[in-house]
């Protein structure tokens, strides 16, 4: 065989190999395992991805601080147990592999895209408000910070989705620019303007069940409403750009153990515990896929009356 022909064969073989090279992972994990006592940017990356697996509902904050301590070990072991890995509290090759499978090259997670969190468009709003539709621009923090916050929120929702049996999560309001939030009369200090919040519902899962699981998934702000059919979830405790709102915000409950909205009325779908009927004063919590697709496509109400 001539040298030129050999060269063609080798070039063809190399091209074939390149076609079948596995796509690059979104994050390059270290060659060595991460374990208790380790520090640095790789530990921080791990903490961002595992925060939603910290299981306690006592309003203790999971710290994203670059230090692999007890909280990180607990969250890691919960993650490992769910995905059928060896539960050893050490992040090695098998853990990295699962994390990479849950993340796309653009740093979004497996079941969520940036487009789901982009600002909506509302025909009742001005051109100035709508100019930010389909973007993360015009918020209370720079665009790159909004994007970072949205990614963190995705990882919490990814954990929540897994705990709820991999049921799809529908989002009808993510980021809002300042003028857009003002147009729809959102809360003046809305977490949506920072990319730290999402209004959501889960297919075939009641709002109440989603809220209960969110409490064990490091969701700091949990809002529900008497006249609106969704839950509001946010990461306010880690939104340092709005220090005044860095507190836990979960619904209070009445004597019948119903979650209450800020107006003191039962949240959408709530009934007295132990009853098997819906009273005429309580909305049905329809979470079918068709209903949620309709709800998602509608976007926010034109007037939120100061709600987040």
Q: What is the pLDDT of residue 23?
A: 52
Kindly tell me if the per-residue pLDDT of 18 is higher than 50: no
Q: What is the pLDDT of residue 85?
A: 98
Residue pLDDT, tens place only, 180-222 = 999 999 999 999 999 999 999 999 999 999 999 999 999 999 9
What are the sequence ranges of the domains in the chain? Answer: 23-107, 111-298
Binning pLDDT at 50, 70 and 90, where does residue 284 land?
low
Binning pLDDT at 50, 70 and 90, where does residue 271 land?
confident
Kindly tell me if the per-residue pLDDT of 7 is higher than 60: no
How is the chain classified by DSSP, letter by letter?
--HHHHHHHHHHHHHHHHHTPPPPPSS---SSPB-TT-BSHHHHHHHHHHGGG----S-PPPP-SSB--HHHHHHHHHHHHHTT---SS-B-HHHHHHHHHTB-TTS-BTT--GGGTS----TTS-HHHHTTTTSS-SSSS-HHHHHHHHHHHHHHHHHHHHHTTS--EEEEE----HHHHHHTT--TT-GGGGT-EEEEEETTB-HHHHHHHHHTTT--EEEE-SS---EEEE-GGG-GGGGGG-S-B---B-TT--BB-TTSSBPTT---TT--S--TTS------HHHHHHHHHH-S-S--TT--
Highest CATH level, class, for 23-107: mainly alpha
Mean pLDDT of the chain: 91
Q: What is the pTM of this model?
A: 0.89
Q: Which fold has domain 111-298?
A: Muramoyl-pentapeptide Carboxypeptidase; domain 2 (3.30.1380)
Kindly tell me if the per-residue pLDDT of 303 is higher than 50: yes
Residue pLDDT, tens place only, 84-102 = 999 999 999 999 999 999 9
């Amino acid at each position: 065989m001539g040298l030129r022909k050999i060269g063609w064969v080798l070039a063809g073989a190399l091209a074939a190999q390149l076609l079948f090279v596995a796509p690059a992972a979104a994050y390059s994990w270290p060659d060595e395992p991460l374990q208790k006592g380790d520090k640095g940017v790789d530990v921080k990356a791990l903490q961002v991805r595992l925060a939603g697996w910290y299981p306690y509902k006592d309003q203790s904050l999971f710290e994203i601080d670059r230090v692999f301590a007890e909280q990180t070990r607990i969250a890691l072991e919960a993650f490992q147990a769910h995905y059928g890995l060896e539960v050893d509290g050490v992040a090695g090759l098998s853990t990295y592999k699962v994390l990479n499978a849950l993340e796309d090259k653009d740093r979004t997670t497996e079941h969520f895209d940036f487009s789901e969190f982009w600002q909506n468009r509302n025909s009742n709003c001005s051109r100035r408000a709508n100019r930010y539709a389909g973007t993360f621009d015009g918020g209370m923090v720079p665009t790159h910070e909004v994007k970072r916050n949205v990614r963190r929120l995705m990882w919490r929702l990814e954990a929540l989705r897994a705990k709820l049996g991999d049921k799809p999560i529908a989002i009808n309001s993510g980021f809002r620019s300042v003028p857009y939030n003002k147009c729809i009369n959102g809360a003046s200090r809305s977490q949506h303007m920072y990319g730290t919040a999402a209004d959501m519902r889960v297919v075939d899962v009641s709002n109440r069940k989603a809220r209960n699981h969110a409490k064990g998934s490091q969701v700091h702000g949990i809002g529900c409403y008497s006249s609106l059919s969704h839950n509001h979830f946010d990461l306010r405790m880690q939104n340092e750009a709005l220090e005044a709102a860095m507190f836990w915000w979960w619904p209070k409950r009445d004597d019948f153990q119903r979650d209450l909205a800020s107006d003191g009325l039962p949240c959408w779908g709530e009934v007295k515990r132990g009853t098997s009927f819906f009273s005429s004063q309580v909305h049905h919590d329809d979470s079918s896929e068709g209903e949620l697709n309709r709800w998602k496509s509608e976007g926010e109400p034109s007037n939120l009356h100061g709600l987040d």
